[in-house]
Amino acid sequence: MPSKKAAGRVIALVGVGTLAVGLSACAGGSNDAGDDAASSGPVTITYMHRLPDGEGMTPVDDIVAKWNKEHPDIQVKATKFDGAASEMILKLETDIKAGSGPCLAQIGYSEVPGMYVKGLLQDVTTEAGKYADNYSAGAFGMMKVGDKVVGLPQDTGPLVYFYNATAFKKLGLTVPTTMDELAADAATASKDGKYVAAFTPDEAQNWLSAQAAAAGDTWFGASDDKWQVNTQGTGSQQVSALWQGLIDDKQVFVGDRWGDAFTKALTDGSLIGHVGAAWEAGFLLDPLDGTESEGQWRVAQLPTFGTDAMTGPDGGSGVSVMKGCEYPEQAMEFNNWFNTQVDDLTSQGLVVAAKGTPTTPTKMKKQFGDQDVLSELATATQNLNPDFPYMPGFSALSTMNETAAKAGSGDVPVSDIFTTAQTTAVSTIKDLGLPVAGN
């Protein structure tokens, strides 16, 4: 009868399940304790990352295996986190609260102050001092919270300018070195229906703040032991004016950076220039592979806002030592070694923060017409504005994206984005219970 079969099947399945459990419980995941209890045995360091580990990249596990072979006394276990940055922060917070957090974790620069305020990062200033010389000053500075250092930088995201050299030549455009030249190029190109830049609201938070930094602004400072927030300084106003002009005259592509419309604009040739982060070089031109536009693009330094060569940080992360790590010294030793594995990290698509220039990979050379892309990007890293710290809770400035979308469709002026940044920043710092100067 079906019922007996059903019952029998149920019991069989449960039995199988239990058996599988029994077997896998022996082999199954271990508790993610950061450290080994034995004092004489090898030290185990856990490292949580969210590096892509994609096709054609040297897997993180392989890199770590190299270290493990040469350092039997310090064994490292790397785990890849499969979600977005904000989810990883939640997991780190929860794990550390539960007492089983990793020793080292990848943290975006803009998240570092917030994580410190939450009590999740360890002060490793003395350790870090040993390795400071290996890294670009701008990047190293981003691992500082006040005067304490909490880890080492891994990769950077200075803004650079990508452009299609062939299309530029065809239209008689010069590669812009200042933002005024960029605006002029935009006017010329738009007559032919081409755009030399894209206004991307879904990236406004990091992208516009980076431009403000490139224009020399500092958004978050301190005086009197209170936070001073000014997102509407001269630099920001310059940025605002630039994009307002382009949007008003319809001389810029308006659309999300990660939307399908952007890819389409790239492939159909209407987008011939892009102000983007250095790490975009790893995949920006992938849709053009095999088309006639392959190999036509180049990368150049960000057009300046009238100052000397300076660019701003758009993303990038470092590796921090987490609270509760019992072996910060060994952890930092591995940290430094890992972040100086320049070629391997480059294969993961990172623009490394460590000094020195890795060789440009073949794929990148092919896409950029044999240009030595990575030396250009290394120059950009050196040009990072050294004084652009983030506030705790910077991620709440996602409200900028909301306003940016409206600005992109012309409903509000671009300067409103920076006003939104100001109000959100002040109220966020207040909500965190930290002292902030009034307005």
Partner 1 sequence: MAQLAPTTTATSSSGVVRRRRRVPAADELPLSMAPKPALRAVAIVVLVIACLYFLVPVYWLVVASTKSNADLSTTFGFWFSGKNSLIDNYNSLMSWTQGLFWRWVGNSLLYSTVAGVLGTLFSVMAGYAIAKFAFPGKKIAVGVIMGGLLLPVALLTVPLYLEFHTLGLVNTIWAIIIPSAVSPFGVFLGMVYAQSSVPTELIEAARIDGANEARIFFTIVLRLLAPAMVTIFLFIFVATWNNFLLPLLMVSSADLKPVTLGLYGMMSYFAPVKGAVMLGALLGVLPLVILFFALQRYWRAGMAAGAVKG
Partner 2 sequence: MTTVATRPGTRRRGRGIRREGLHGWLFMAPFAVLFVVVFLIPIIVSVREAFYSQVPSGGGLFGGGELVDTFVGFDNLVTAATSGAFWLGMGRVLVYAAFQIPVMIIVALGLALLLDSLLVRRVAFFRMAFFLPYAIPGVIAAMMWLYLYTPEVSPFMQFLPAGTDFMAPGTILASMANMTTWTYTGYNMLIFLAALQAIPHDLYEAARLDGASGWRIATRIKVPLVRNAALLAVLLSIIGTVQLFNEPMIMESANSWMGKAYTPMMLTYNSLMGQVSPSGNGPASAFSLLMAVVAGAMAVIYALVQRRKA
**Which residues contact partner 2 by CB under 8 A?**
86-87, 89-90, 113-114, 116-119, 121, 123, 145-146, 201-202, 204, 222, 225-227, 256, 258-261, 264, 392-393, 395-396, 398-399, 401-402, 404-406, 409, 424, 427-428, 431-435
User: Considering CB distances under 5 to 8 angstroms, the limit depending on partner class, which of partner 1, partner 2, none binds residue 392?
Assistant: partner 2
User: Considering CB distances under 5 to 8 angstroms, the limit depending on partner class, which of partner 2, partner 1, none binds residue 410?
Assistant: none
Q: How far is the CB of 175 from partner 2 (least distance, A)?
A: 28
Q: How far is the CB of 20 from partner 2 (least distance, A)?
A: 19
Closest to 193 in 3D by CA, of 269, 293, 297? 269
Q: How far is the CB of 206 from partner 2 (least distance, A)?
A: 13
Q: How far is the CB of 375 from partner 1 (least distance, A)?
A: 23
The residue type found at 395 is S
Calpha distance 34→37 (Å, rounded): 10
The residue type found at 401 is N
Which tokens is 421 given? 């940044």
User: Considering CB distances under 5 to 8 angstroms, the limit depending on partner class, which of partner 2, partner 1, none binds residue 283?
Assistant: partner 1
Cα separations (Å) of 29 from 26, 33, 327, 399? 9, 11, 22, 39
User: Considering CB distances under 5 to 8 angstroms, the limit depending on partner class, which of partner 1, partner 2, none binds residue 409?
Assistant: partner 2
Q: Report the interface residues with partner 1, using CB under 8 A.
A: 1-4, 6-7, 10, 13-14, 17, 20-21, 24-25, 28-32, 48, 50, 52-56, 59, 61, 79-84, 87, 90-91, 94, 97-98, 100, 258, 260, 263-264, 267-268, 279-280, 282-284, 286-291
User: Considering CB distances under 5 to 8 angstroms, the limit depending on partner class, which of partner 2, partner 1, none binds residue 3?
Assistant: partner 1
**CB count in 10 Å sphere of residue 126:** 11
User: Considering CB distances under 5 to 8 angstroms, the limit depending on partner class, which of partner 2, partner 1, none binds residue 119?
Assistant: partner 2
| Rg of the chain, C-alpha, whole Å | 24
For 8-70, the three-class secondary structure string (H helix, E strand, C coil) is: HHHHHHHHHHHHHHHHHHHHCCCCCCCCCCCCCCCEEEEEEECCCCCCCCCCHHHHHHHHHHH
Q: Which residue has the tokens 């096709």?
A: 55
Calpha distance 42→157 (Å, rounded): 36
